[in-house]
Structure 1
Amino acid sequence: MINMADQLALLPHQCGVYRFLNKDGNVIYVGKAKDLKKRVLQYFTAGRNLSVKTRRMVSQVQSLEYTVVETESDALLLENNLIKTIQPRYNILLKDDKTFPWICVKDESFPRVMQTRRMIRDGSLYFGPYTSVYYCKQLLQLLHTLYPLRTCSLHLVPQAIAAGKYKKCLQAHIGRCKAPCTGEESAQDYDGYIRSVVSILKGDVASVRKILEEQMQTAVRTLNFEQAQKFKEQWEALTRYQARSVIVSPRISDVDVFSLVVDTPSSMAFGNFLRVSGGAVIQSLNVKYKLQIEEDPAAVLSLFMAGMKEQQGGLSREIIVPFLPEAIPGNNKVHVPKKGDKQTLVSLSMRNAGNYRTEQLHLMESRDKRTVREQKTQKMLTRLKEDLRMNVLPLHIECFDNSNLQGSHPVAACVVFRNGIPSKKDYRHFAIKSVEGPDDFASMTEVVTRRYSRLQSEGSPLPQLVVIDGGKGQLSAAFNVLDGLGLAERITVVGLAKRLEEIYLATDRTPLFLDKNSSSLRLLMQLRNEAHRFGITFHRKKRSAGFTRSALLDIPGIGPRTMEKLLGHFGSLKQIALATEEELARIVPAKLAVKIKEFTVNQGTGS
């Protein structure tokens, strides 16, 4: 077997494509070069300032292969084909748009025009790809509005049509198709529609509009006004379609525009491709590349152009770019405009590439932040599981807190955390129903019973951890309920006391003290504080409503309906107390207005 040193010595000073192979014989990198020997030796020359990724790649190279070609253009195209076929690990990874929709004109008798996501090389014509499915469908709808194209999948060969195998469908009856399946439309007429469709899809809207104008004038001269109106409607639809394109300049025709923005920190390159026809931008496409090793922007631009040439089935004769590529894939005229409309067009493409770069980097940053946050949460929950001696990770945690004022208006709150963050849609309030007076233990018993008996009956998921705001007494009340429901083995329940932030376990008399900076304790305190906030807000609201109701109902002559009428008009008890007798008399009888005023003055409610 020839070693690497011998292979390097035998490389020719010719244009070609080289391939690096690893110890398993797999191609890990494909490259092109004007001079194979000079380019490949750059990787293995001592003292070269190579990046970490490139050094890693070179360390894996065990052998190389190369192919000599005639021109740089041939080398570029061969490199592009090999990268797509082999997909080497260290080459630029093109995030291609193979899933984008295309418009296909089938190679068949009476061709169909339809949307597809698969390009089959069967002689059919493909136009696209379109980055917007909505735009693709709108364009198809326009074409079917302009021309009576068939939508069926029948095999319309002349023999089958002559034999009368087919019948008219609904599309033919409503005038959207001229029934070529029954021989009512000739292949010659239908092919005329297809030629116009292909012209529109290629961007030649002006010539189709001119044909429609001539047909409209001919129909008018022959007094066929109904047909002239149809031609006019088609002309207007085509005009609206063209108006949606970005007008560049009527002097610019059949030009392709390429631009490229390289983001070195992320090792990414972002490209934009514009196709201009008849002075209008008829196609725009963004692509992104992952640069595995350092690449000159000119080389990346060459690869971008080669890829688009293969994808589009060819490029326009004239190509404008912000800087010259390393090689040109064909005999196209490539230049860098310095001023005028073409320079404006390059600026437009560069702006699109820059916007695409910003958008993609933002998405990547968001994904990275989410990943870091998820890793941090996973670590925190794992620590909590270990600290509380749990068997499972506490992905679903619930916390309970009681609130009352000397036993009046007792309420409770349940807050829910999923994956370490609040799940506010799952929060619940509880109005205590069976407890009289300030009895925290009985209130906790009622709330926990109501919560988990309901979850059991509904078959809803149960939490792995329940946190009780309180000490040993509240914890015992909650644990006894769970034990009675048969859930004590499935749910871990702990109590968090406020004074020293000690943690009580249901199965251990000795409290657990965690480090004040522990992520486990911080999470439990966040749960407790959130439950307290949620509960106290509900308690204040209920207490305020109860005070308003009781104060008004204590006035002789006021019942629930009158109270609702007063509150509905004035909004609150304070506003009722501030109102004059005349204002009150507009809502209730004058005698009752006097009583209300006397009552509020005596009670001092207006203060």
Structure 2
Amino acid sequence: MDTLEKKLEQVPRKPGVYLFRDEKNEIIYVGKARLLKNRVLSYFRGEPSDPKTSVMISHIRDVEWIITDSETEALLMENNLIKEYTPRYNVRLKDDKSFPFIRITSEPFPRIFITRTVEKDGSRYYGPYTDVHHVRKLLRILHRTFPLRTCRYKLDEATIKAKKIPLCLEYHLHNCEGPCQGLISENDYNTMVEQVIRFIEGHTEETLNVLAERMQEAAKRQAFERAARYRDQIRVIRKSLPRQNVVHTDFEDRDVIGMAVSEETAMVVLFRVREGRIIARETFTLQQTGNRTRNELLKEFLRSYYSETPFIPREVFCELEDEKELFEDFLTAQAGKRIYVITPERGEKARLLTLARKNADMMLKDLMLHRIKRDLQPGKMVQALQEALNLVAPPMLIEGFDISNIQGTHIVASCVVFENGRPRKSDYRKFIIRDLDHPDDFAAMSQVIRRHYSRKLEEKGKLPDLVLIDGGKGQLNVAKQVLDELGLHHLPVIGLAKRLEDVFIPGYANPQNIPKTSPALYLLRRIRDEAHRFAITFHRKRRDDAMVKSILEDIPGIGPKRKAKIFSVYPSVYEMMKDNEKEIAKKTGLSVTLVSEMIAYIRRYSPMDAEKRGKV
């Protein structure tokens, strides 16, 4: 950590962006600060504000920074870096990459359609929208109102002059103006596209006025068929408009943002107010919130959401407590026009903001209630397993066991826990099998079952609804015998054989008839495979550490005392290799030269992968 401490001393007192890297040299967090030094050092002074920050700090191995001219520039750069690297510990919109957008392509005679991927190809994107049904309805209205092409042909001047593309059915149904045959000029087509853009942005009255003027002009020229088409377009738009009163008589465009926060989740409701009417309500869930305050999460949302949408209204209503000027400058840079962040305190505007917050509170309560119901109600795989095994109650809590060894050395066992069909890794357990120096899966299984459930009974821990043993009838009978001896006769236990994946139940000679494609068998396989993965990972680590310990005995200058000193500081060689030579020497009291020789020897002769152990 000496290297990190020296770097922290060099952090400048200037605005900019800082990046934290972990032991794998991956970026795990990106932040911005008005004074980099104060902000970065705050992570390493005093107690962390929440458990998530504490875990993040424990993984920090390096820090980088980028100096900017202003805090606004730092905010813009922070946003770009978060989008590029998607750091693990940054707050982000839940499933933000799957939200639908409306895309208007950047090509001659542009097309308009729904997409879930944003590409840097010059196209214009509108969204993100959280209600895909609303987006599809909007697109249907657009295509009925504005005869834009839906084909994927590449239209250029040469293709149109040569008339290579024939007119399709859409033209004859009056859903397209026939740009492929040059029946509409590119200027007229682009004018129609601009109307579409204004319509998407919520300026419906402006669109209606333009269509009404064109209808009158067509009627004066006695182009009654075209005038009737404009009339029908006006009717479609008016029918689609939300039936609500004007909420503001100033007819200003604005976004109104309300937020509700719980311990692990935040819900955001955004009202799109256009021309004085609420035309849409979008809801967003923020994940990885930790114990951040409402104000901090609101800043994260403003940065994340408005970096993705091309249209930002002139006013944004929200309850931002500080740095309003900073975010006004940020939004202004994004929009290319002056944007104001406002917290109204009285009148209709304040009531609208309160309405958004109440909606967010209601949506958050619904989400929490849904999660509670989901956790209490058994999933489909759990229900299928209950039916397949004829259990009295659904196996909401399942514990799976596996044994791992090679030729009887370093025998270990694992216990994995699944709750309602999902792994609960915080309850996983590893076991070192004692007093057994030869391969004996039966004895190993007997020992781990006895140790695990004896402790459960002693600590009055929660017992599982089902115990899964990785093995056939032999391992199953041993586990059942131990459970009976402990007085756990009622605890259901089954075995899953590896070769044919047969399911065995105590008291039955033949395996259960569970179809190979059954969700129940899929869940059992998943638990068995997870137990095997967890056990074999632990076994490999113990084997590698043991081999490296024997290698230490062959290194000149590393005797029993120095070896004992090393392992009094580091629990394993794996942990030691995370530090550099100077740090190891400082902690163990060995000379840097001896440590350097030891590291070189380990890398040369150790079975461990050097990259996995870290670079010195």
Smaller-chain TM-score bracket? 0.5 to 0.7
Secondary structure at 1:88's aligned position in 2?
coil
> In the alignment, residue 3 of structure 1 is paired with which amino acid?
T
Q: Output one character per residue of 1:111-152: Cα deviation in whole Å (capped at 9) or x when no partner.
A: 222222222222222222222222222212111211222222
1:489 alignment counterpart: 510
Say whether the 8 Å CA contact 1:146–1:234 is kept in structure 2. Answer: yes
Q: Output one character per residue of 1:8-32: Cα deviation in whole Å (capped at 9) or x when no partner.
A: 3333222222222333333332222
Q: Output one character per residue of 1:336-372: Cα deviation in whole Å (capped at 9) or x when no partner.
A: 1012222122123212322332233233333433579
Determine whether 1:278 maps to 2:275.
yes
Q: 1:37 to 1:18 in 2, by over 3 A?
A: same
1:382 alignment counterpart: 467
Say whether the 8 Å CA contact 1:254–1:318 is kept in structure 2. Answer: yes
1:360 alignment counterpart: 367
1:115-194 aligned within 5 A: 115-194=114-193
Secondary structure at 2:344's aligned position in 1?
coil
Say whether the 8 Å CA contact 1:258–1:305 is kept in structure 2. Answer: no
Say whether the 8 Å CA contact 2:258–2:318 is kept in structure 1. Answer: yes
Q: Compute the RMSD of aligned alpha carbons.
A: 3.5
1:523 alignment counterpart: none
User: Equivalents in 2 of 1:93, 1:115: separation in Å?
Assistant: 23
Secondary structure at 2:128's aligned position in 1?
coil
Distance apart, 1:335 and its partner CA: 1.7
2:33 alignment counterpart: 33
Superposition TM-score, scaled by structure 2 size: 0.59
> In the alignment, residue 342 of structure 1 is paired with which amino acid?
K
Q: 1:375 to 1:120 in 2, by over 3 A?
A: same
1:195 alignment counterpart: 194
Distance apart, 1:166 and its partner CA: 2.2
Say whether the 8 Å CA contact 2:16–2:67 is kept in structure 1. Answer: yes
1:294-373 aligned within 5 A: 294-313=291-310, 315-326=312-323, 327-328=326-327, 329-331=330-332, 332-370=339-377
Say whether the 8 Å CA contact 1:262–1:268 is kept in structure 2. Answer: yes
User: Equivalents in 2 of 1:177, 1:383: separation in Å?
Assistant: 63
> In the alignment, residue 489 of structure 1 is paired with which amino acid?
N
Say whether the 8 Å CA contact 1:96–1:287 is kept in structure 2. Answer: no
Secondary structure at 1:243's aligned position in 2?
coil
Q: Output one character per residue of 1:560-586: Cα deviation in whole Å (capped at 9) or x when no partner.
A: xxxxxxxxxxxxxxxxxxxxxxxxxxx
Superposition TM-score, scaled by structure 1 size: 0.60
Secondary structure at 1:382's aligned position in 2?
strand
Say whether the 8 Å CA contact 1:302–1:325 is kept in structure 2. Answer: no
Determine whether 1:230 maps to 2:233.
no
Distance apart, 1:209 and its partner CA: 0.6
Q: 1:224 to 1:57 in 2, by over 3 A?
A: closer
User: Any unmatched runs of 5+ in structure 2?
Assistant: 333-338, 380-393, 400-463, 478-491, 494-501, 514-616
Secondary structure at 2:55's aligned position in 1?
helix
Distance apart, 1:311 and its partner CA: 0.6
1:44-63 aligned within 5 A: 44-46=44-46, 48=47, 50-63=49-62
1:263 alignment counterpart: 262
Q: 1:160 to 1:70 in 2, by over 3 A?
A: same
1:395-414 aligned within 5 A: none
Q: 1:11 to 1:158 in 2, by over 3 A?
A: closer
Say whether the 8 Å CA contact 1:274–1:283 is kept in structure 2. Answer: yes
Q: 1:272 to 1:76 in 2, by over 3 A?
A: farther
Secondary structure at 2:307's aligned position in 1?
helix
Q: 1:171 to 1:25 in 2, by over 3 A?
A: closer
Based on CA coordinates, which of the two structures has the bigger radius of gyration?
Answer: 1
User: Equivalents in 1 of 2:261, 2:309: separation in Å?
Assistant: 23
Q: Output one character per residue of 1:364-401: Cα deviation in whole Å (capped at 9) or x when no partner.
A: 33343357964436633438999x99969xxxxxxxxx
> In the alignment, residue 64 of structure 1 is paired with which amino acid?
V
Distance apart, 1:77 and its partner CA: 2.3
User: Equivalents in 2 of 1:17, 1:80: separation in Å?
Assistant: 10
> In the alignment, residue 150 of structure 1 is paired with which amino acid?
R
Secondary structure at 1:44's aligned position in 2?
coil
Q: 1:235 to 1:374 in 2, by over 3 A?
A: same
Say whether the 8 Å CA contact 2:289–2:297 is kept in structure 1. Answer: no
Say whether the 8 Å CA contact 2:92–2:304 is kept in structure 1. Answer: no
Determine whether 1:84 maps to 2:83.
yes
1:68 alignment counterpart: 67
Say whether the 8 Å CA contact 1:19–1:30 is kept in structure 2. Answer: yes
Say whether the 8 Å CA contact 1:53–1:293 is kept in structure 2. Answer: yes
Distance apart, 1:313 and its partner CA: 2.5
> In the alignment, residue 207 of structure 1 is paired with which amino acid?
E
Identity %: 31
> In the alignment, residue 376 of structure 1 is paired with which amino acid?
L
Deviates more, 1:137-146 or 1:2-11: 2-11
Q: 1:24 to 1:109 in 2, by over 3 A?
A: closer
> In the alignment, residue 203 of structure 2 is paired with which amino acid?
D
User: Equivalents in 2 of 1:292, 1:166: separation in Å?
Assistant: 53
User: Equivalents in 1 of 2:302, 2:208: separation in Å?
Assistant: 32
